[in-house]
């Protein structure tokens, strides 16, 4: 045998090598290729789907196109519109992504210091004084303080440590609202202290936008509650662990819950704020019951109002991938 191998080695060596390469190739092809029956089934399914698809008639295509344009106008506003669509109205910072944190901080300070007065009203001391019970001097001082703190916090939130910057903003907003509440005899219950942010251990750069947006919303609600003279603000609940939000998402929501006790007229003013068509706040749940004092006795004329609202960012230019068919 050894003699035969030595004699015909030059012939069998390349033959055996070729056979080995062929077997390796067969194994690789088998591993990487689908089962022929499975592949055949996929082709048949694709053919059936293709045959079942029908091109819409020109009339239907035109109708669909018009409806799409109408939905887009509802979302972003018709071309040339100055008010925008629902995206602009729901978006808490009106699309100003570059200055998102600064805009939200200004909203919080505006609610706390100049009592929610819009800029057109706040610039005029005579117009602003109505929110300060006719005290024009107090209105002027408040507006100057407001402008100073807006500039100050804009810088610290932009370049400072996010945890320290947010703590300082919260301190200024809470201090102002607490003083106003004491003067108006509005009680903040323990679960509403610091506008619900007392349980937030720390704030990093990623979660800073969500925290400032929620603070602005909490300040707006507390401002109206204090101005309307509710009896007490019972709870403000902010999510302890918040998601930063994906920049590619069409919409981002950060919920915050409130509960307060007061007369129905005051609750109505708060509802008017939350459901203002020009500046609506997304509401998840609302509850209105007759208030009761300790011992279960009914509190005459008082109701307890609870609501779960959300700070919201809308990105109308985000890709919804509506043209991508999902695999079954």
d(CA 11, CA 7): 9
Mean pLDDT value of segment 249-268 = 92
d(CA 308, CA 282): 9
- In this prediction, residue 17 has a pLDDT band, given cuts at 50, 70 and 90, of low
Q: Which of 122, 105, 315 is nearest to 217 (CA)?
A: 105
* CATH H-level, domain 93-314: superfamily: Ribosomal protein S6/Translation elongation factor EF1B (3.30.70.60)
Residue 328: is its pLDDT beyond 50?
Answer: no
- In this prediction, residue 103 has a pLDDT band, given cuts at 50, 70 and 90, of very high
Mean pLDDT value of segment 167-184 = 96
The DSSP H or E segment spanning 100 is helix 100-113
Residue 57: is its pLDDT beyond 70?
Answer: yes
* Residue range(s) of every CATH 3.30.70.60 domain in the chain: 93-314
pLDDT in tens, 137-172: 899 999 999 999 999 999 999 999 999 999 999 999
């Amino acid at each position: 045998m050894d003699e035969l191998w030595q004699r015909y080695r030059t012939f069998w060596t390349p033959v055996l090598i070729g056979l080995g390469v062929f077997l390796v190739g067969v194994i690789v092809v088998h591993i990487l290729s689908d089962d022929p029956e499975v592949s055949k089934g996929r082709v048949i399914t694709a053919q059936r789907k293709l045959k079942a698809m029908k091109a819409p008639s020109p009339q239907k295509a035109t109708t669909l196109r018009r409806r799409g344009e109408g939905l887009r106008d509802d979302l972003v506003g018709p071309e040339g519109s100055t008010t925008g669509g629902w995206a602009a109205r729901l978006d808490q910072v009106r699309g100003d992504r570059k200055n998102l944190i600064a805009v939200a901080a200004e909203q919080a300070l505006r609610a706390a210091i100049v009592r929610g007065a819009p800029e057109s009203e706040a610039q005029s001391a005579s117009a602003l004084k109505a929110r300060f019970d006719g005290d024009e001097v107090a209105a002027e001082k408040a507006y100057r303080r407001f402008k100073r703190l807006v500039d100050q916090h804009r810088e610290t939130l932009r370049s400072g440590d996010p945890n320290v910057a947010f703590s300082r903003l919260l301190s200024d907003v809470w201090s102002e609202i607490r003083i106003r509440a004491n003067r108006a005899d509005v009680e903040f219950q323990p679960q509403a202290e610091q506008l619900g942010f007392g349980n937030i251990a720390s704030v990093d750069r990623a979660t800073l936008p969500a925290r400032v947006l929620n603070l602005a919303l909490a300040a707006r609600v507390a401002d109206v509650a204090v101005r309307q003279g509710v009896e007490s603000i019972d709870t403000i609940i902010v999510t302890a662990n918040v998601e930063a939000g994906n920049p590619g998402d069409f919409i981002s929501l950060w919920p915050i819950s409130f509960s307060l006790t007061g007369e129905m007229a005051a609750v109505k003013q708060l509802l008017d704020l939350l459901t203002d068509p020009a500046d609506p706040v997304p509401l998840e749940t609302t509850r209105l019951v007759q208030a009761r004092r300790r011992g279960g006795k009914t509190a005459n004329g008082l109701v307890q109002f609870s609501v779960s609202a959300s700070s919201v960012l809308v990105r109308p230019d985000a890709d919804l991938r509506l043209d991508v068919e999902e695999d079954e």
